Structure 1
Amino acid sequence: MTKINVHELGYVRLVNVMGSDLTIVNAARVSYEKESFNLNENDISLLKFLAREGHTSPFRHALAQFEIYAPLMVARQWWKYIVGSAHMEATGDSMDAWNESSRRYVTEEPTFYIPKNNEWRSKPLNSKQGSGDYLGIEIGDKYSKELEKLIELGVSAYEAALADGVCAEQARLFLPSYGMYIRWYWTASLQSISHFIVQRSKKDAQKEIRDYATAIIELIKPHFPASLEELIK
């Protein structure tokens, strides 16, 4: 499996993988000029030790590349992990990579995330962020329709501006942004991926990004079953 659909329009696609559990084991064992050729119980014990004691550098020798299609509100939460979990070199370059489609150049028909009438959530009782229980169908139906009308208005103005010769990088100002789907490539080490999974699988994480974290787990776990299990415990 290399692709998982998320919501109705979004998806996560596993593009490429470099390494395996054995890659991580051998990155650690090189300190003693040793190498394993088949993963065994001693290697599993080593992976447990590395994860438990926070010896993270061996996990950065394994990489995965994903293509992701998600609403902008999800992408901007996700982007914080490129900044926050970056292991900065002396040059200031991050070991993770992110390349995103841009409506400065792309004028394909925009698509938007619109919650269904049973997906609107209340504000939480004891927090300034996050969400509470699901609201009723009646109020959900109201705001699904309101959002649809807002999107239609914005897209109409966007298309009119393009037709009048306005450049794409300015015409995009008319598009409602937070629910608009964008596409990007994310390449990250297994350590960064596991950190994202741990943080965005929690119950207090926004549901929409939790759904994407679940897809990441399902795609990456077959390639690093032992390592990932220890990292996300």
Structure 2
Amino acid sequence: MTLYQVLDKGYVRLVNHMGSDLSVVNAARVSYAKESNELSDKDIRLIKFLAREGHTSPFRHVMLQYEIYAPLMVARQWWKYVIGSAHAEGTGDSLEAWNESSRRYITEEPTFYIPNSDEWRSKPENSKQGSGEVLGNEVGTQLTQELIEYIELGVQKYESAIEAGLCAEQARLFLPSYGMYVRWYWTASLQSVCHFLNQRLEHDAQKEIQDYAKAILELSKPLYPASIQELLVKRD
């Protein structure tokens, strides 16, 4: 499987990848002019050692490329990992790339994330961020309908502006932004991917980006089972 559906209309697609668990091992062993031809138990023990002791550069010789379609609120959270990857403590990883579709150039029909009536969450009781329990169905139904009406109004104004001759880069100001789906390519090293997963698989991460992190994990783990097993924080 190379594509994983997320939320109502989103997805993650594995576009390409380079290397394997064996690539990690051989990157580490090149210091001694040694190379393995087939992954062995000894090689897996080396991967465990590298991850445990924080010797992370060998994991940056493996690269993955994804196409992601997600609401803007997810994309902007995700983008922080590209900005911070070269400076994050313990990573030093600048091998990332991000290319996103732009409504300066395209006028395809806008698509929006609309939670179902049973997906609206309350504010948390003891925190300034995150969310709490699911709201009641009556309130949820009202919120879903209000969001649909708000989106329809924005799309109507956007289309009217385009028809009036306004350029696409300004017409997009009429579109409700945070729930609008955007598409991008993300290319990153295995270490950087696992850093993202460790942060966004946590129970207190926003649920929507947790869902995308789970998709990234499902698509990536079969390719690098030993390395991902050791780089991810162990959870109950």
- Asked if these proteins are the same fold (TM beyond 0.5), I'd say yes
Task: Name 1:216's counterpart in structure 2.
Answer: 216
Determine the structure 2 residue equivalent to 1:12.
12
Equivalent residue number for residue 170 of structure 2: 170
2:198 counterpart residue number: 198
Which residue of the partner structure matches residue 85 of structure 1?
A: 85
* Secondary structure of residue in 2 paired with 1:14: strand
* TM-score normalized by the length of structure 2: 0.95
Match of residue 134 from structure 2: 134
How big is each residue's C-alpha offset from its partner over 1:95-130, in whole Å with a ceiling of 9 and x where there is no partner? 200000000001000000011000000000111000
Q: C-alpha deviations, 1:165-188, integer Å up to 9, x for none? A: 000000000000000000000000
Alignment of 1:27 with 2:45, yes or no, is no
Q: What is the CA distance between 1:63 and its match in structure 2?
A: 0.2
Contact kept? 2:8, 2:114, Cα under 8 Å? no
CA contact (8 A) 2:197 2:232 kept: yes
C-alpha contact 2:81 2:196 (8 A) present in aligned 1: yes
| Percentage identity across paired residues of the two chains | 70
The aligned counterpart of 2:54 is 54
Q: 2:224 is matched by which residue type in structure 1?
A: F
User: Does residue 99 of structure 1 match 2:99?
Assistant: yes
SS at match of 1:15: strand
CA distance in 1, matches of 2:94, 2:213: 22
* Over 4 Å off, 4+ runs: none
SS class of match (2:124): coil
Residue 186 (structure 2) aligns with: 186
8 Å CA contact 1:65–1:186 kept in 2: the answer is: yes
Gaps of at least 5 residues in structure 2 are: none
Unaligned runs of 5+ in 1: none
Q: Secondary structure at the match of 2:195?
A: helix
Aligned equivalents of 1:140, 1:36: Cα separation in 2:
56
Query: Shift in Å at residue 87 of structure 1?
Result: 5.9
SS of the equivalent of 1:104 reads coil
Shift of 1:8: 1.9
Amino acid at match of 1:63: M
- Give the corresponding residue for 1:108: 108
What is the Cα-based RMSD across aligned positions, in Å?
1.2
Partner of 1:41: 41
Amino acid aligned to 1:157: K
Q: Which residue of 2 aligns with 1:229?
A: 229
Q: Is the 8 A contact 1:158 1:174 kept in 2?
A: yes
Residues 101 and 172 (structure 1), Cα distance of their counterparts in 2 relative to 1, 3 Å cut: same
